[in-house]
């Protein structure tokens, strides 16, 4: 995984499609780097992890971990400190204030026997080393951005140059579920009753450098040429003790992620006659794949 700067034009492309991004562009209007030059992305923001929404990017790596940008060290925990009775799933981790209320969280690092010596950390200053602390099964680290003013987690991939990726996402299955709970596979059933249906999409992304299953960037459901629902994996909001994701507005994360390993991508309505349902899945690099179903609605 090569460390890369934000390419020219990236923000104009993102900003035209994601209104919420504009609130953080003031901070991210300069080049950020991934914290490791050779890590392999094994889990990313938005992934459905056994029904739980992942809010950080996790890398399999060895060696040093660096700040994504200059930051003030505001918290550090060493998981080897026996004074804590409740071990953290983050293991050994550091929190850096990168300015404008944006906190970078670097976790699952190697335990350190002595505390950090720097308050202000430059990009070339090592935060720690990849480790196996916390709830980690292999050596690596996790990395997240949190906007403490807006109380939302930010997908790092929308503000750091996307990793090299020329593979479109994979759509394994699409399912329609009626209000009564009846499940329909639109690739096998061409005739359906009119009414509202929840759309469940089992889809994932990969990148060229690894075969790891990753979350896509968005899922779009279209009926007869009109966008009905769009599920985005750019932000997660902490609201009243619950995590919310964006699906044509804020929706509780547990509603979207209850269809493990897929996603409840939204709700569509079919009227009598002929209908065309298109489900499109895009990744952060704008690779896309779609499936089309032509249905007779009775």
Q: Is 264 left (phi over 0), alpha (psi -120 to 50) or beta?
A: beta
Summarised one tens digit per residue, pLDDT across range 63-96 is: 999 999 999 999 988 877 655 555 678 999 999 9
Reference 91, options 81, 102, 101; nearest CA is: 81
* The predicted structure's pLDDT at residue 8: 30
pLDDT band at 113 (very low <50, low <70, confident <90, very high): low
User: Which comes out higher in pLDDT, residue 296 or 228?
Assistant: 296
Helical residues (DSSP H) of the chain, grouped into ranges: 10-15, 253-256
**Does residue 20 carry a pLDDT above 80?**
no
Pairwise CA distance, residues 75 & 106, whole Å:
11
Instruction: Please name the residues in contact with 120: beta carbons below 8 A apart, sequence gap of 6 or more.
Output: 70, 71, 72, 73
Summarised one tens digit per residue, pLDDT across range 184-206 is: 999 999 999 999 999 999 999 99
2-23 mean pLDDT: 35
Mean pLDDT of the chain: 85
144-171 mean pLDDT: 92
* The predicted structure's pLDDT at residue 17: 37
Summarised one tens digit per residue, pLDDT across range 238-279 is: 988 899 999 999 999 999 998 999 999 999 999 999 999 999
98-110 mean pLDDT: 93
* The predicted structure's pLDDT at residue 85: 52
Kindly list the structural domains of the chain, giving each domain's residue range(s) and its CATH number in brackets, ordered by start.
10-158 (2.70.70.10), 170-297 (2.60.40)
Name the CA radius of gyration of the chain, rounded: 21
**Does residue 27 carry a pLDDT above 60?**
no
């Amino acid at each position: 995984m090569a460390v890369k700067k934000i390419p020219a034009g990236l923000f104009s492309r993102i900003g035209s499609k994601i209104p919420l991004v504009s609130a953080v562009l003031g901070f991210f209007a300069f080049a950020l780097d991934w914290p490791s030059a050779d890590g392999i992305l094994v889990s990313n923001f938005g992934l459905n992890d056994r029904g739980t929404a992942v809010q950080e990017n996790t890398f399999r790596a060895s060696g040093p971990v660096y700040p994504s940008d200059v930051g003030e060290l505001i918290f550090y925990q060493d998981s080897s400190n026996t004074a804590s009775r409740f071990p953290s799933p983050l293991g050994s981790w550091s929190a850096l204030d990168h300015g404008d209320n944006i906190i970078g969280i670097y976790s699952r690092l190697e335990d350190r026997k002595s505390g950090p010596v720097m308050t202000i950390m430059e990009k070339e200053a090592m935060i720690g080393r990849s480790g196996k602390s916390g709830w980690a099964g292999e050596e690596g680290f996790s990395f997240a951005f949190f906007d403490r003013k807006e109380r939302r987690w930010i997908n790092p991939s929308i503000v750091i140059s996307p990793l090299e990726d020329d593979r479109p996402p994979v759509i394994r299955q699409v399912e329609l579920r009626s209000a009564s709970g009846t499940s329909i596979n639109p690739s096998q059933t061409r005739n359906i009753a009119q009414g509202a249906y929840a759309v469940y999409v089992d889809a994932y992304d990969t990148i060229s450098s690894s075969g790891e299953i990753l979350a896509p960037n968005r899922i779009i459901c279209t009926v007869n040429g009109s966008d009905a629902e769009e599920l985005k994996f750019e932000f997660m909001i902490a609201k009243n003790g619950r995590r919310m994701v964006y699906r044509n507005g804020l929706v509780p994360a547990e509603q979207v992620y209850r269809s493990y390993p897929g996603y409840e991508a939204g709700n569509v309505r079919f009227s009598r006659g002929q209908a065309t349902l298109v489900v499109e899945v895009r990744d952060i690099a704008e690779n896309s794949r779609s499936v089309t179903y032509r249905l007779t609605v009775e």
